Amino acid sequence: MKLAFRLSGEKRINRSWQVDLLLFLLLGLFGAFMAIPLVYIINNAFKPLDELFLFPPRIFVRNPTLNNFPDLFHLMAKSWVPFSRYIFNTVFITLAGTVGHVILASAAAIRWRNTSSAARRCCLASSSCL
């Protein structure tokens, strides 16, 4: 399977399957590297307190527990700001950002559709140089 892309009026650019495989492996390696902090955070969420403050720290949990989650809710219930406020803020910002992005992208797409093909080619050529 060959991947190709073409800007209007330009030559077709082909890559071999070996280059595609190399890019796939390289991007997979970078993706796995960037997932390491997420794995570490999730593992720390299930560690008991005695294992959490152990030195040298362990990456993976030996004795996983779910007791940290009820403790979090009990601790945050006594806090000045309740935990439900954090949840509300997260959901509100996520929804507002998503709706705003969809509206802005839709407006840009309508404007893009109404521009001339010469302006589109110029914009595509300038963005491909970045």
Q: Is the pLDDT of residue 111 over 80?
A: no
Residue 129 clears pLDDT 80, i.e. is over it:
no
Per residue in 9-29, pLDDT tens? 555 567 788 888 999 999 999
User: Could you give the CA distance from residue 112 to residue 68 in angstroms, rounded to a whole number?
Assistant: 51
Reported pTM: 0.52
Contacts for 68 with CB less than 8 Å, ≥ 6 apart: 45, 46, 47, 48
Place of tokens 């709706």: 99
Cα–Cα nearest to 72, from 60, 61, 84, 64: 84
Q: Where are the domains of the chain?
A: 81-130
Model confidence pLDDT, tens digit, residues 68-92: 888 877 777 777 887 788 889 999 9
How does the average pLDDT of the chain come out, rounded? 80
CA distance 9 to 128: 15
| Helices assigned H by DSSP within the chain | 17-45, 49-52, 68-77, 83-113, 117-128
